[in-house]
């Protein structure tokens, strides 16, 4: 799970910086974090879907806004967090729909290769990826609501989205542990 946290860290950096600085600074910070994560993944020979997608997203959104909205990005800034969360939602659900749930590459690092081709392994990863997809969807809807109202920002931008992700992470950890329990050390 450490690699998964690394993979999502550019998005967390983006969300955090966007709360305290301009959208351009948030995109730059997310992009730099994405490059660091990708470099780490390449050096460890463990590149996951979001390691590459993060670099592409922050480069593309930064270039798009610099070209189309260089002086007027207030609306974009209000909905930037929802846009980032929405992008993650689409990518996660797309990974499930095309038959390569994003959690599978992380799971392969924890289980023996003999398990990888089992239908139960794929089914569990589809389920775990869908759980994360639902958490991202809840966060996206919450952040869209936050962009259109002036109050309840802490609840809509922090508590609901991160609560949903924490809940998903906890549930996925439990399911993963139940499906692949750690070996019990032998007593002497």
Q: What is the mean pLDDT of residues 123-144?
A: 96
Apex CA 80: angle with CA 101 and CA 18, to 5°? 105
CB 52 within 8 A of CB 38: yes
Does residue 178 carry a pLDDT above 90? no
Task: Name the pLDDT band for 2 (thresholds 50, 70, 90).
Answer: confident
Of residues 140 and 74, more confidently modeled: 140
Average pLDDT of the residues in 123-147: 96
Q: Residue 180: pLDDT band by 50, 70, 90 thresholds?
A: low
Distance (Å, rounded) from C-alpha 169 to C-alpha 162? 10
79: closest CA among 23, 32, 27? 23
Find where tokens 């019990």 sit. Answer: 184
What does the pLDDT look like over 17-62, one tens digit per residue? 988 888 999 999 999 999 999 999 999 999 999 999 999 999 999 9
pLDDT at 70: 73
Task: Examine the pLDDT at 82 and tell me if it is beyond 50.
Answer: yes
Task: Judge whether 135 and 172 are in contact, CB under 8 Å.
Answer: no
Three-class SS of residue 46? Answer: coil
Q: Which pLDDT belongs to residue 56?
A: 96
Q: Give the mean pLDDT of the chain.
A: 89
Percent of the chain exceeding pLDDT 70 equals: 95
Cα distance between residue 46 and residue 52, in whole Å:
11
Average pLDDT over residues 117-125: 93
pLDDT at 54: 95
Dihedral sign for Cα atoms in the order 86, 61, 72, 158: positive
CB 132 within 8 A of CB 103: yes
pLDDT of residue 58: 96
pLDDT at 136 over 70: yes
């Amino acid at each position: 799970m450490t690699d998964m946290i690394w993979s999502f860290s550019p998005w967390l950096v983006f969300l955090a910086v966007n709360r305290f600085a301009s959208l351009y600074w948030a995109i730059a910070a997310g992009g730099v974090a994405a490059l660091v994560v990708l470099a780490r993944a390449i050096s460890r020979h463990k590149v996951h879907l979001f390691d590459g997608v993060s670099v592409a997203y922050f480069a593309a959104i930064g270039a798009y806004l610099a070209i189309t909205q260089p002086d007027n990005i207030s609306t974009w800034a209000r909905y930037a967090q929802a846009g980032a969360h929405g992008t993650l939602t689409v990518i996660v659900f797309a990974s499930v729909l095309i038959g390569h749930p994003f959690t599978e590459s992380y799971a392969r690092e924890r289980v023996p290769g003999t398990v990888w081709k089992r239908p139960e392994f794929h089914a569990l990863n589809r389920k775990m990826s869908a759980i994360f997809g639902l958490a991202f969807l809840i966060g996206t809807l919450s952040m869209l609501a936050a962009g259109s109202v002036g109050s309840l920002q802490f609840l809509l931008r922090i508590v609901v989205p991160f609560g949903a992700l924490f809940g998903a992470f906890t549930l996925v950890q439990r399911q993963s542990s139940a499906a692949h329990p750690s070996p019990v050390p032998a007593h002497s």
